[in-house]
Chains A and B, each alone.
Chain A
């Protein structure tokens, strides 16, 4: 059995401690936006629903191609169905982190999660 600790010199411990502090600081910075709290549903660029992520709920939004169904659950939301041809927004599945976004471009519907603060002023597409 090798005594690995004897290879670590006093300054090395300081470096390790500093590095560990950097690592934990970087994690807490990233997660500082907190959990997602609300789901914003937009149709044709206008906000049509602002749903708290606390209870199960289904919202239907009409677009040029038909109806997009948005499903909200505790702490998450998704596009449950959409009439678009490629289904990208549906395939994204459940969104859980703040600023996550599912865009159903053909039907002009988007679903965005927001936390306590947003990292973006605006998102365009």
Chain B
């Protein structure tokens, strides 16, 4: 057998994205166990991961993690290239586009909760647009708008709070690190 002449090297960044994507995939797969009254109404817990990655590592990483999650979880659930996959993808693309814009808002005023709610509404809008154009070519589908909008508000807020809670630990971690560094400096000066 000929040895491959190309070598794929996974950088530290690749591994980091893979770890986050794995966490998001686990949340997506686990959440399918939650019964839903209407297809498409689900918590979208994996978006917590997207928000955390967005805050820690920026939009590009968040987009990677989200798109990897959509593709990989659809493979795991046997939904790859099925209508549900395209609906997830449309929602993910729309919410990433929205996040690209709102991530520029001042952090003092807008945190994960606001971003999460905006992304959730963008997700529903993207999903419903695709469904209207492709799956349900009838305006009757828009009768479901209030249901999806309510779900977006509730789950968007809850996911945002979860992300904010996780990120709050980051901040205290940073502060602890800062304190340790200052102590070390003080100790070395004293020596």
Contact = CB atoms under 8 A, between A and B. Distances in A.
A30 B147 CA distance: 10
A15 B105 CA distance: 12
Contacts of B161: 4, 7-8
A3 to B, nearest CB: 10
B15 interface: no
Interface string B110-122: 1111100110010
A66 to B, nearest CB: 32
Contacts of A14: 114
A22 interface: yes
B-side interface size class: 20 to 34
B168 A26 contact: no
A11 B164 contact: no
B146 A19 contact: no
B109 A19 contact: no
A23 B149 contact: yes
Contacts of A4: 161, 165
Interface in B100-157: 105-106, 108-114, 117-118, 121, 143, 145-146, 149-150, 152-153, 156-157
Contacts of B160: 7, 12
A11 B109 CA distance: 5
A98 B63 CA distance: 43
Interface string A83-109: 000000000000000000000000000
Contacts of A7: 111-113, 160-161, 164-165, 168
A9 B156 CA distance: 15
Contacts of A125: none
Given A7-B168, A15-B113, A30-B145, 12 more contacts: A4-B161, A7-B112, A7-B160, A7-B165, A11-B110, A12-B114, A15-B117, A15-B118, A16-B113, A16-B117, A22-B121, A30-B143
Contacts of B114: 9, 11-12, 14-16
A19 B111 contact: no
Interface string A12-46: 10111001101100110110000000000000000
Contact of B157 (A16, A22, A26, A30): A16
A2 B160 CA distance: 15
A45 to B, nearest CB: 23
